[in-house]
Amino acid sequence: MTKLRIADKILKQVEKPARYIGQEVNSVIKDKNKVDIRFAFCFPDVYEVGMSHLGMQILYYFLNKREDTYCERVFAPWTDMEEKMRENHIHLFALESQDEIKNFDFIGFTLQYEMSYTNIINLLDLAGVSPWSKDRKEDDPIVCAGGPCAYNPEPLADFIDFFYIGEGEASLNQVLDIYKEHKKQGGTKEAFLEKLLDIEGIYVPRFYEVKYKDNGLIESFTPIHKKAKAKIKKQLVKDLDDSYYPSKVILPWIQTVHDRVNLELFRGCIRGCRFCHAGFVYRPVREKSKEILIEQGKKLLKNTGYEEISLSSLSTSDYSAFKEFSEELLETCQKAGVNISLPSLRIDKFSIDLMNKIQTVRKSSLTFAPEAGSQRLRNVINKRITEEDILKGSQFAFEGGWDRIKLYFMIGLPTEKEEDILEIKELAYKILDTFYSIPKEKRARNIKIVVSSSCFVPKPFTPFQWEPQCRYEDFMDRQNLLKKSIKRKEIQYNYHDATISSLEGLLSRGDRRVGQVIYYAWKYGAKFDSWTEKFNMAAWKKAFELTNIDPAFYANRKRAYDEILPWDHISIGVSKAFLIKEHQKALDEKTTPNCREKCAGCGAKIFERGVCHEIQN
Amino acid sequence: MQVVGLRYLKGAYAMKFRIKFSKEGHLKFIGHLDLLRLMQRCIKKAELPVAYSKGFNPHQLIYIALPLSLGATSEGEYMDIELTEDSLMTETEIKDKLNAVFPAGLKVEKVSHVKDKAKSGMAAVDGAEYKVFISKEKMPVYFNEKTEAFFEQKEIWIEKTGKKETKKINIKDKIYRYCVQEDKDFWIIHLLLAAGSKDNLKLETLIEALYQYIALDYNGYDIDIHRVDIYSEVDNQLIPLSNL
C-alpha cells in the first residue's frame, strides 16, 4: 500500500476523504524509478466530477500503455482540504504515487469548461509553482493543456507552456518521444518547446506576438520564431476502430456523476446546430463499427463489474447502424444482467419502442431539447426539429406510460424576440394538451413537464462567434417574461442566474489580455466558479477594475467578419468562409441539411475520413 | 463426485454464505455506502453467481452486518451473500475469487455456509468488540486512572439529542467489557459494546462521554478506532458471527 501524502488526522476532518487516497480498483501503479516521464494529468475540478470524464480515462490508459511514462491523476482538492493543505504546507500531489507534482516532467490540464480556469491557477499555486509561464523555473514541470476549450487557448496563453489542439490519441505520443530524447540529451525547457514546433497541432504561445489597436481590437497576431506555424492544425483520430480504447476504467471510490461503463459510439455530429461548439470542433463524424463496440462493451463490463452501460456521443440516434447495434447490445446486456442508459436520443417511434424494451421497470423522465420555442428561431439555430416531431414524440411517450417530460431551451439566442420566448410556453402547453387528449386508460394519471432554460453563450468556431451575447439584465428580463407567462400548474420552469453565463461569455471568446482578469479574480478569492455556492462575483468585479478590462467588450460586442479573432491561428478544418455563410443563412432563417443528407462543404473533408467520404463512396 | 450430485438437489444446497473480511489501511476512508457499491462491483467482477432481488430495480442480495464508521479499520466485518439456486461454489472458491479482485486493504478472512433458517447477519448482531488507540502525547498522566474510574461508575449517564428533545440515558449496561492497556505510544482501550437492533451503543458516544468525564476536549480525529469482531448472543454467550 502506498503511503498517503495526507495524514489520517487531516483526512478524518475533511468531507469525502476518499477523494485523496488513490489506489482504486483498475488504477495503474508503476515503479517510479523505472520510468522516464512523470505526467500529472489534472482535471481542474473535484474528484467525483473529473472521474466521470471519459476522455481522462482514455488518455490515462493511453499514456500508461507506454512503459517509459507514468501518468497519474490530479483533481482539485475541495476547499476544506485546500485549507488544510495550505495550513500544513502540503503541496499538490498525484493520487497514484502520492508524490508532489512539482517534481514531475509534465503537468497537463484538460480544459472542459471555461469556468474551471481559476482552478487551474489555483492548482498550479497549490503545486508550488508559479502560474505564469515566464516565471516558472527550469526544473519546474512543463505545463500543457488540451481539450475542447483549448480551441481558444488565448485566455490561458500566459499560463500554459504549450497547448495540444485536437484529440490526444493522435499525436501525444510524438510529444512524449521528443521529450524523452530531449531529456536524455539535456537542454532547456525553451529548447524543448522549440522542438515541439515541428509537430502539427502544438501551439506554444510564447513564440507568437499579439499587437492591439487603440480601439482594443487585435491589430496583428504573428509568429516570432521562424519555425512557429501561422496556422495550428487540429489533430484527430482518423480511424476510431484502430484507435486505442481502454478495456477497463478506474472504479471511483465514491459515487460519481456517471458511475457506469461508457461506450463511445462516434465522434463529431452530423447535425450542425449553429450554437454548438462540439458540433463544429469535432468534425467530421467518425464512427466505430458495431462489432468493435460490442466487443469493447463486453470487455469493459467484465473488467469493471458495472451493472450499467451508457452510450456516449453527441447524438446517439445518428449512429448509422443504430437499429442493429441496439438490438445486439440489448441481447448482450440482458444476458449479463446489465442495464442500458441511452442519452441524446432523438424522440421518435423507434426510440420510444427501444426505451420501452430497455425500461421494463420504472419509467424515468424523458428529455427533449428543442432549444428554441418557435420554428423561426429553430431555423435560425439550425435545430431541424418541428413542432409536429415534438408533439408526436410526446404522444408516443405518453402512450408508453411516461409521465415526466423535461424540455431544454436556450434564452438569448441571436434574433430572439419576445414572441419566440412566449412560444416556449405555447409548446409546453401543446405537449400538455397532447397528454390530456389521450384517453385516461391509455396514459399515466398525472403529468409533469419541466421546462429548463439556459443562457446562450456564443462560442468560438461556431457561426455565432461574431454575435453579441445578451446582457445580464436582458437575460433576467427574458426569463421573467417566460416565468410570468407559464400559468398551468403541471409545468415547472427552471432557470439559472445569468451571472455565470455572462462570465462564460467573456472567457470563451477572450484574448490574451483576459489572462490577467483570471489571475486577479483568483487572487481575490475566485475558485470553483462552476459551483454556484462557491461562485464569487465580487472577486471578478475587483479583477475587472484592477485590470481595466471591460467584460462587455468580449461578451456583448458584435464583431465584424474582417476582425482578427483571438483564435484565428487555430484551424479546426472547418473554414471561416463556411462559418460566415452559415451565419448569413441563420440571419435569413434558412436551415442547412445534415452531413448525411448533403455535404455543406464545411472544409472538414480534408481529414480524409469520416462521414464526408462515406457519402462519396 | 459429491458436488455433481448436489447440483440436482435444488434447495438442499446452501446458497447463503457469510463472508468475514478485513478493512485495513486507507480503506478506512471508504464509507459504508461506498463499500457496498465496491462490493457489488467486485462480486460482479469476480463472476460470483449472486442472486438478485425481484421487482423494480433488482439489486444484488448482499447484506453487511453492521456498518463501520468512516475512518475506522476492522479485522472482523461481515457480509452475507445469497447465490443463485443452481450455483455450485465452495467456500474456498468464493474466498479466492473475491480476494483476486479486492483492492489492497480489503481481504476475505473466512467464508462459511449459512443455514437456510439461520438468522441473517444483520439480525444476529448483539455485540461488537473494538480497540481504541489514544496517543499518549498531549494526554494527562492521570488518564489511565481516570479512565478506570469512569468505567467503574455505577451508572454512566449521557445526553442523547433526538429530533425534539434531549434525553438522559444510562449506558453502563451497554458496556459488556472494558480494559485499558498501556503501549509505547498509545493508550489502548479494549471494549465490548452492545450493538445491533436490540441494543446499541455507538463507540464514539462512549469515548466522548469518557473525554467529558476527564475534562478533555473530544474532536473525533485524534483517536484511531479498530473493530476486532462482531458477536451474536447464543445461550448467554457472545460468539463471533463466523462461528455461528
DSSP string, B146-173: HHHHHHHSS--EEEEE-SS-EEEEE-GG
A496 confidence band (pLDDT: 50, 70, 90): confident
pLDDT of residue A257: 85
Q: Which three cell numbers stand for residue B173?
A: 449496561
Q: Taking CB atoms and an 8 Å limit, are B26 and A302 in contact across chains?
A: no
Distances (CA, A) of B13 to A126, A259, B8, B115, B118: 58, 35, 9, 9, 14
Interface test with B, best of A25, A28, A81, A259 (most B CBs within 10 A): A25
Interface test with B, best of A8, A10, A12 (most B CBs within 10 A): A12
- B78: β partners: B20
Instruction: Give yes or no for residue B2 having a pLDDT over 60.
Output: no
Interface test with A, best of B44, B98, B138, B218 (most A CBs within 10 A): B44
3-state SS assignment for residue B92: helix
Residue with cell 489520517: A8
Q: For residue A155, count CB atoms less than 10 angstroms from its CB and return exposed for 0-12, middle for 13-18, buried for 19 or more.
A: buried
Q: For residue B71, count CB atoms less than 10 angstroms from its CB and return exposed for 0-12, middle for 13-18, buried for 19 or more.
A: buried
Q: How far is A12 from chain B (nearest CA, A)?
A: 6
pLDDT of residue B5: 35
Q: Which of B43, B57, B221 lies closest to A361 in CB terms?
A: B57
What's the number of CA atoms in the CB half-sphere (13 Å) around residue A151?
Answer: 24
pLDDT of residue B160: 83
Among A562-566, B10-14, B215-219, which stretch is predicted with the lowest mean pLDDT? B10-14
B21 confidence band (pLDDT: 50, 70, 90): very high
For A212-263, what is each residue's pLDDT tens digit?
Answer: 999 999 999 999 999 999 999 999 999 999 999 999 999 999 999 888 999 9
The chain B residue lying nearest A260, using CA atoms, is: B41
Q: How far is A298 from chain B (nearest CA, A)?
A: 12
Residue B57, chain A, CB below 8 Å: the answer is yes
pLDDT of residue A113: 96
Among A51-55, A164-168, A393-397, which stretch is predicted with the lowest mean pLDDT? A393-397
Instruction: Give yes or no for residue A440 having a pLDDT over 90.
Output: yes
Higher pLDDT, residue A614 or A216: A216
Residues of chain B contacting residue A306, judged by C-beta atoms under 8 Å apart: 41, 44
pLDDT of residue B1: 39
Q: Taking CB atoms and an 8 Å limit, are B26 and A254 in contact across chains?
A: no
pLDDT of residue B13: 52
Q: What is the mean pLDDT of residues B87-99?
A: 91
Q: How far is B232 from chain A (nearest CA, A)?
A: 30
Interface test with A, best of B27, B30, B45, B186 (most A CBs within 10 A): B45
A401 confidence band (pLDDT: 50, 70, 90): confident
pLDDT of residue B88: 79
Q: What is the mean pLDDT of residues A344-369?
A: 76
Q: How far is A39 from chain B (nearest CA, A)?
A: 24
How many residue pairs bridge chain A and chain B with CB atoms within 8 Å of each other?
Answer: 73
Among A37-46, A597-606, B135-144, which stretch is predicted with the lowest mean pLDDT? B135-144
Q: What is the mean pLDDT of residues A525-536?
A: 95
For A67-94, what is each residue's pLDDT tens digit?
Answer: 999 999 999 999 999 999 999 999 999 9
Residues of chain A contacting residue B44, judged by C-beta atoms under 8 Å apart: 305-307
Among A363-367, A559-563, B89-93, B177-181, which stretch is predicted with the lowest mean pLDDT? A363-367
Q: What is the mean pLDDT of residues A531-535?
A: 93
What's the number of CA atoms in the CB half-sphere (13 Å) around residue A433?
Answer: 8
Interface test with B, best of A3, A5, A8, A308 (most B CBs within 10 A): A8
Q: Taking CB atoms and an 8 Å limit, are A4 and B26 in contact across chains?
A: yes
User: Looking at the whole model, is its pTM more than 0.80?
Assistant: yes
Among A169-183, A248-262, A343-357, which stretch is predicted with the lowest mean pLDDT? A343-357
Residues of chain A contacting residue B34, judged by C-beta atoms under 8 Å apart: 18, 253-255
In terms of C-beta distances under 8 Å and separation of at least 24 residues, what long-range contacts does A82-86 make, across chains too?
Answer: A82/A122, A82/A126, A84/A6, A84/A10, A84/A13, A84/A14, A85/A6, A85/A126, A86/A126
B7 confidence band (pLDDT: 50, 70, 90): very low
Q: Taking CB atoms and an 8 Å limit, are B29 and A21 in contact across chains?
A: yes
- A447: β partners: none
Q: What is the mean pLDDT of residues A506-515?
A: 98
Return the closest-CA partner of residue A277 out of A50, A22, A43, A509.
A509
Higher pLDDT, residue A10 or B163: A10
Residue B128, chain A, CB below 8 Å: the answer is no
3-state SS assignment for residue B48: coil
Q: Which of B42, B56, B224 lies closest to A305 in CB terms?
A: B42
Q: What is the mean pLDDT of residues A426-448?
A: 95
Instruction: Give yes or no for residue A312 having a pLDDT over 70.
Output: yes
Residue B177, chain A, CB below 8 Å: the answer is no
pLDDT of residue B166: 86
pLDDT of residue A615: 58
pLDDT of residue A407: 95
Q: Taking CB atoms and an 8 Å limit, are B44 and A305 in contact across chains?
A: yes
Residue B32, chain A, CB below 8 Å: the answer is no
Q: Taking CB atoms and an 8 Å limit, are B41 and A304 in contact across chains?
A: yes
Residue B8, chain A, CB below 8 Å: the answer is no
Q: What is the mean pLDDT of residues A476-492?
A: 97
Average pLDDT, chain A: 95
Residue B236, chain A, CB below 8 Å: the answer is no
3-state SS assignment for residue B214: helix
B6 confidence band (pLDDT: 50, 70, 90): very low
A350 confidence band (pLDDT: 50, 70, 90): confident
User: What is the tally of helices (H) and strands (E) in chain B?
Assistant: 6, 11
Q: Taking CB atoms and an 8 Å limit, are A255 and B37 in contact across chains?
A: yes
pLDDT of residue B3: 43
Instruction: Give yes or no for residue A594 having a pLDDT over 90.
Output: yes
Q: What is the mean pLDDT of residues A404-433?
A: 96
Distance of alpha carbon B108 from alpha carbon B94, whole angstroms? 9
Residues of chain B contacting residue A12, judged by C-beta atoms under 8 Å apart: 71, 220-221
pLDDT of residue A609: 87
Strand-pair category, A266-267 with A286-287: antiparallel
Instruction: Give yes or no for residue A208 having a pLDDT over 70.
Output: yes
CB A529 within 8 A of CB A503: yes
Return the closest-CA partner of residue A554 out of A597, A522, A512.
A512
Q: How far is A9 from chain B (nearest CA, A)?
A: 5
Q: Which three cell numbers stand for residue B108?
A: 476475505
pLDDT of residue B14: 53
Instruction: Give yes or no for residue A198 having a pLDDT over 60.
Output: yes
Q: Taking CB atoms and an 8 Å limit, are A362 and B56 in contact across chains?
A: yes
User: What percentage of chain A exceeds 70 in pLDDT?
Assistant: 99
pLDDT of residue A342: 82
Return the closest-CA partner of residue A600 out of A591, A590, A592, A609.
A592
CB A398 within 8 A of CB A490: no
